[in-house]
């Protein structure tokens, strides 16, 4: 007779600014349109924070027709996503991820706060002006992403001096395990110096000693199960961000072929590519990445100059990353780029967001029938 596992202790709530988050889990922002209103609202309904990735939202929207209307279409598409997420999760906490590296960063932040985002996560560069762009709604929690204690110190000091406010939380992403664009140079990858076990305790001690623990530390990258969450909290984090764990959910906003690619993948299928944004990126092996890594030609037309700095505009062999990510999200795995964290290949089946939360909170896993229908 197999005895049931003992019940897990409850996870502590997470306080970020004015918001008490019942379950200390933030769903990571995944673009293009991998985490939009459906995934964000599902996570928010379970007591976590649902995040809509704002980058290139318009590409699968009714608003985008041609290059010159790209930016205005992004604004309209974001407004729609925020409205839909709020309709599906009236009481949940909904936020956005706004990348510093995109040219419409300011517009995405201003639109986010005006249309109800309760929290903004911002990385891919230090968001030094984020408080300025969000000033019209001071209740919106601002959470910058950093890769080191040095970056956190610099940013907090600048915000305090110029805007008389501190980050409502600091999010650290471990470049050794996180997905998508990574916050270190390629030759710095896989160094213990930038790993969560090294950096999170430093950030937690800094928050305690310099800010009386007023800036909670959130850690991301490599968080898959309850043991990972407990380890992160033991390091001094107050909460975690999880992205790859939600990829193969019925509520994830990507095409079913995109999700199946993760179920079919194995550990050796995780690769590092050089993004035209000037950063290394962690991705799933695909016909696109194999062509790229072998020096072959991939689609390279810049359609909207969406990034502040992008080699696609200047180097003939570079590719348009927004277009490549969009294609994958739409199910075009031949020409699309699939970003992932190291844990993305651990998926073996489709799940519901509610069942993932149940497992993380109680240790109980849902039985997996032979087939499940996606929610209507």
Nearest to 116 by CA among 85, 149, 152: 85
User: In a 10 Å sphere around its CB, with 0-12 CB exposed, 13-18 middle and 19+ buried, how is residue 212 labelled?
Assistant: exposed
Per-residue model confidence (pLDDT) at position 299: 63
Task: Out of 9-18, 116-125, 209-218, 316-325, pick the least confident.
Answer: 316-325
Q: Residue 376's pLDDT band (boundaries 50, 70, 90)?
A: very low
pLDDT at 29: 96
pLDDT digit string (tens) for 45-94? 999 999 999 999 998 899 988 767 889 999 999 999 999 999 999 999 99
Q: Is the pLDDT of residue 40 over 80?
A: yes
Whether 317 has a pLDDT exceeding 70, the answer reads no
- For residues 374 and 345, the model is more confident at 345
d(CA 341, CA 177): 6
The strand order across the sheet containing 270-274 reads: 180-181, 280-284, 270-274
pLDDT of residue 222: 96
What is the model's pLDDT at position 370? Answer: 42
Mean pLDDT of 167-177: 96
Q: Give the distance from CA 239 to its chain's centroid.
A: 14
Give residue 373's Cα distance to chain centre. 26
Q: HSE of 280 in the Cβ direction (CA atoms, 13 Å)?
A: 19
Mean pLDDT of 251-268: 97
Give the torsion through C-alpha atoms of 273, 106, 326, 264, to 10 deg.
60
Q: Where are the alpha helices (DSSP H) in 97-189?
A: 105-114, 130-133, 149-163
Higher pLDDT, 291 or 167: 167
Q: How confident is the model at residue 369 (pLDDT cuts 50, 70, 90)?
A: very low
- The pLDDT of residue 233: 98
Highest mean pLDDT among 97-101, 207-211, 272-276, 364-368: 207-211
**Per-residue DSSP letter, 22:** S
Pick the closest to residue 287 from 331, 256, 325, 333 (CA basis): 333
Top-confidence residue, 190 or 97: 97
- In 3D space, the residue among 320, 309, 305, 322 whose CA is nearest the CA of residue 279 turns out to be 309
Average pLDDT over the chain reads 90
**By percentage, how much of the chain surpasses pLDDT 70?**
89
Domains and CATH numbers, the chain: 14-254+347-362 (3.20.20.70), 257-343 (no CATH)
pLDDT reported for residue 304: 60
Per residue in 80-136, pLDDT (tens digit) is: 999 999 999 999 999 999 999 888 999 999 999 999 999 999 998 899 999 999 999
């Amino acid at each position: 007779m197999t005895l049931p596992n003992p019940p897990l202790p409850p996870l502590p709530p997470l306080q970020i600014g004015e918001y008490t988050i019942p379950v200390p889990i933030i769903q990571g922002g995944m673009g293009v349109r991998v985490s939009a209103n459906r995934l964000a609202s599902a996570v928010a309904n379970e007591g976590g924070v649902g995040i809509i990735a704002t980058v290139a939202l318009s590409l699968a929207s009714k608003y985008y027709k041609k290059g010159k209307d790209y930016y205005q279409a992004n604004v309209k598409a974001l407004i729609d996503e925020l409205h839909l997420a709020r309709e599906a999760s009236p009481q949940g906490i909904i936020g956005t991820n706004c990348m510093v590296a995109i040219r419409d960063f300011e517009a995405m932040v201003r639109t986010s706060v005006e249309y109800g985002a309760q929290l903004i996560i911002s990385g891919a560069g230090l968001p030094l002006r984020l408080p300025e762009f969000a000033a019209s709604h001071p209740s919106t929690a601002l959470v910058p992403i950093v890769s080191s204690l040095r970056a956190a110190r610099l940013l907090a000091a600048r915000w305090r001096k110029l805007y008389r406010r501190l980050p409502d939380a600091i999010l650290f992403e471990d470049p050794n395990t996180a997905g998508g664009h990574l916050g270190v140079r390629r030759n710095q990858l896989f160094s213990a110096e930038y790993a969560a076990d090294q950096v999170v305790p430093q950030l937690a001690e800094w928050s305690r000693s310099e800010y009386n623990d007023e800036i909670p530390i959130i850690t991301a990258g490599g968080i898959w199960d309850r043991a990972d969450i407990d380890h992160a909290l033991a390091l001094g984090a107050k909460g975690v961000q999880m992205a790859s764990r939600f990829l193969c959910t019925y509520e994830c906003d990507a095409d079913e072929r995109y999700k199946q690619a993760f179920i079919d993948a194995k550990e050796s299928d995780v690769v590092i590519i050089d993004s035209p944004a000037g950063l290394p990126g962690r991705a799933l092996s695909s016909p696109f990445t194999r062509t790229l890594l072998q020096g072959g030609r991939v689609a390279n037309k810049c359609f909207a100059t969406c990034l502040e700095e992008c080699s696609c505009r200047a180097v003939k062999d570079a590719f348009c990353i927004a277009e490549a990510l969009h294609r994958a999200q739409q199910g075009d795995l031949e020409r699309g780029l699939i970003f992932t964290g190291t844990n993305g290949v651990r998926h073996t089946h489709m799940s519901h967001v509610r069942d993932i939360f149940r497992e993380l909170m109680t240790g109980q896993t849902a039985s997996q029938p032979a087939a499940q229908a996606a929610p209507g």
